[in-house]
Structure 1
Amino acid sequence: MSGLLETERAGCTKLLQSMSKDDVFSLCDTVTNKLIVVENVTEAIGTIITFTKNAEELLKRKKVHRDLIFKYLAKEGVAMPPNSEKNKLVRRTLELWSSGKAWFDEKLSGETNETKQRLTSDTEIVKAEVDFDPQVLGQQFCQWFFELLNSQNPSLGQPPQDWGPKHFWPDAKLRLLSRAGSEQMEEFMGAELVSLRLLALTKDELLLLCPNLEPHGLRTLASPHGLVLVSVAGTIHRDRACLGVFEQIFGLIHSPLENNSWKIKFVNLKIRGQDALGGTETAAPALTYNSTELQLLCS
């Protein structure tokens, strides 16, 4: 029997689903010592999970390549330096699974629409009426947003998730400031244009945005008028190259008529390329915005 926790089972399953068919069958033979014959990938993955003693053992298998784990973490919104050794990626993956967040997202994705709506609504009602914690909301929002946006990058080789203007208020605004050689400012108005410009970052420019969800990389602030500001820093990658860092501020407003969800009112995105960083460390960038600057955006 498998010694995996439910969180680890969900994470390992998702990771194995991103492997090639041949690698999955080969790994199944290794884990079972070729004593069990499987007929398809789904059966092979289930067998691997059943006969795996612990998650670390599975992650350290030769067929579970370093790049596979790196891409998995990127999809989950976990920032890691592109030159990280496999052992570090394994350790970070185990930390992610032990937090329980990956399992909750996976459980929601596997529920029926009716159940998913009820779970999401119940969660939002608890936040709004009982114990609303802006920092928790910020962490959950960033994990959701960057996984969704990064899934549009074709280099990850996964089906894109449901991106679109529906996640934004109709009068949403985007301000994009990029410093890579020269400084360039772009501004967009309306849910459609804002959605398309952000989509182009990953789908057309093939970028991966990896947020730093540690305390020094994430800060939130709630105004008495219902606006919640989520500010986050992170690194930008293309394939295995780190291109620079970003800081992003989201303005979120609760939408009680749409399953108690939070929709994006505005986005301020500041990108700095490597040449604008002066050789500083980019593995886990920290925010430069302070609480006073965020307070001004609430006014």
Structure 2
Amino acid sequence: MSAKWTDADVPDQSGRVALVTGSNTGLGYETAKVLARRGADVVMAVRDTGKGEAAAATIRKAAPSSNVAVHALDLGSLDSVRTAGAELAAAYPRIDLLINNAGVMYPPKSTTADGFELQFGTNHLGHFALTGLLLKNVLAVPNSRIVVVASMAHKIQAKIDFDDLQWERRRYSRVAAYGQSKLANLMFAYTLQRRLEASGQKTIALAAHPGISNTELMRHVPGTSLPGVMKAAGLVTNSPFTGALATLRAATDPAAQGGQYYGPDGFRELMGHPVLVSSSKQSHDVSVQERLWTVSEQLTGVTIEV
């Protein structure tokens, strides 16, 4: 392995099925493309299937022998998640990699189809439900992995406010709401790993973050619509390709272990190549993790049996 972990370090993925949410653009697209190049059968689970098909066509050109499929999934609708979960479970009895990548960041205050605050509902609850619906298929494969894409933002104004999870009482803060959703992502990964390990499963759960990556996720950040701002941002952020490396390492590095968290090796984890990093103290609070799990089951109607 090279001194800096890169896509060249991704082992052969032939015969493996990798499902990547939100993979028509940004980090998810780069993740799907590398996995396809390494031989995986890639399932692109996306909200906009038109954009998904266009992205899949580009990947097929880059990896002519790849098997790339597109499936509709709107993580902001539990009806869509249930439908996709049932269809995907039937189509793919064995799933080697489930990569929970899709997300929204800093949108104006809005809700999902089910009335949840958009960032919490999409980033956490949608993926929680999808994982629960597909878990049997993942557990059917020894040494399979579930990777949750988190963020450094889990440390910024972030806590799980069980008294107002949906921001119905407080003045809305898009930054704090995003932080809560990303903290929930991490807590989900850690709790899932603990339960997998306790039940003797060989499947593992890990987390990763891209640092600051110049993707479409940035479109709601104030000022990014101004001329030249996004181009300038590219000078001080990871490219989508480099940002995706942390996810790829968590998903494929033979040395990776359950419960680990990968992020960039640069200054304050803003940029760079993936290494093991640490998350906030509160992300490891087991009592909050377990309460969040219970509440997530109640809100989604999906009970996760490990």
Q: Which has the larger share of strand? A: 1
Larger Rg: 1
Considering the TM-score relative to the shorter chain, is it more than 0.5?
A: no
- Greater relative contact order (Cα < 8 A, sep 6+): 2
